[in-house]
Amino acid sequence: MTDRINRLPWRFWIITLVAFINAVSFTIIIPVLYPYAKQFGLSDFEASLLTTAYAAAQFIGTPILGRLSDRMGRKPLLIISLLGTVVANLMASLAPFAWFLLIARVLDGITGGNTSIAQAIISDITSPAQRTKAFGIFGATFRLGFVAGPPLSYLAQLVPPLPGFSSLGMSFVVSAAIALIATGLCVIFLPETHQVCDKFELTWSDFKIGRILKSVRHPQLGRVFLLTFLSGFTFTIFTFAFQPFFLTVLGQTPGRLALIFAMFGVIGFMTQVFALDPLRKQFNIITILAFMLAARGILFLLIPTFPTITAFVLITIVFGAVNSFPLPLIESILSLRSGPQEQGEVLGTNASFLSLSNAIGPATAGLLVSFGYSLPFWVTGVLTVGVAGFALSLRQSESTG
């Protein structure tokens, strides 16, 4: 009887498969966006704005899509979101001008709330007893998609490009094709899981921006939300800055850049599977979080100190393991500090802070790169060590809360 209760419904496995495919589609274009932008003659700062535009549009669009899915149904909004990715990536692959590529990134960001809609579907179809297991499997499968995307990006650059497409543009074509497969799965196999409201109305409250800013003042969670922003901000400075450093200072190719992203994904996934839970059982979560953030900051500082490809690979192997800890640990802290009836909203708010950091970080990195390829690593290294100190302060609020 217990096994029947804990057995996840078949619709869960469909939405998890869709999430995996969507994660693959998203991560295919990450390794090629910067070199693709350089083909249009964009400066490093202008190239960083492509990532910023996507994240900013997603920050605005995701809460709206989530609220609309409450009123119009999950399935149509998920399909619209996935089709937005298909259209945006086809636009990017055929972009004749840089501004057209920017429009494609904004469109992809505005319609990029499919993960939050998928999570809402999981909440609809699972019982409270099933939910922890369901979200754990969903999260692991989503991360696995991040492992598969960069190798496919590398392979897309190797195949002969279709007429009218560049080798880098082929990654966008493959991404669009994969997102189209996910759309087809939703159309054919996924039933509606939410009762549709008769009345549709869009208000300013759908944007939730004011609520997000007010959440910083929450006595138990505000500092954790701020930590999410600071951790994401410093990390996204690195994720943009290491690309021009890898291609220009180290003299590597876009194909090898995709392989480096793949290495990040594989090491991070393996670390989360085999090391995260054992460490959580042995040490205080906040202590582990602060240690990993400090290690991340030190590794940032080591990259420009030893500017060779051998040192870079060795450093990034360690970085791939260290970097897999902060976000899951922060989500665990939020889960422990919030009640069962508010965890969905809390995690959604946390995701909004992460999206906001993803919007600001790349633009900051692009500005810093204009003063030198090593400067972003020095800046984000020092800042990240400071963020580690801030993380330790959560122990004090934990003991006084």
Entry pTM: 0.85
Structure tokens at 110: 């505005």
Q: What is the pLDDT of residue 92?
A: 95
Q: Considering only CA atoms, which of 385, 152, 114, 139 is closest in space to residue 268?
A: 139
Looking at the fold, whether 195 and 232 belong to one and the same domain comes out as no
CA-CA distance, 347 to 63, in Å (whole number)?
12
Domain residue limits at 166 = 1-207
pLDDT tens digit sequence for 296-330: 999 999 999 999 999 999 999 999 999 988 988 89
Looking at the fold, whether 175 and 226 belong to one and the same domain comes out as no
CA-CA distance, 137 to 140, in Å (whole number)?
5
Structure tokens at 50: 């492509």
- % pLDDT > 90, the chain: 46
Structure tokens at 340: 């069962």
Looking at the fold, whether 231 and 184 belong to one and the same domain comes out as no
CB 254 within 8 A of CB 31: yes
pLDDT tens digit sequence for 190-242: 888 776 665 556 566 555 566 677 788 887 889 999 999 999 999 999 999 99
Single out the residue in 160, 179, 207 at which a domain terminates: 207
CATH number of 152's domain: 1.20.1250.20
pLDDT tens digit sequence for 1-49: 444 446 788 888 888 888 888 888 888 988 999 999 999 999 999 999 9
CA-CA distance, 212 to 222, in Å (whole number)?
10
CA-CA distance, 232 to 51, in Å (whole number)?
14
Q: Report how far Cα 17 is from the mean position of its chain's Cα atoms.
A: 17
Single out the residue in 179, 207, 235 at which a domain terminates: 207
Q: What do you get for the CA distance between the two ends of the chain, in Å?
A: 39
pLDDT category of residue 346 using cuts at 50, 70 and 90: confident
Total domains present in the chain: 2
* Interacting residues of 109 by C-beta distance below 8 A, sequence separation 6+: 53, 54, 55, 56, 57, 58, 59, 61
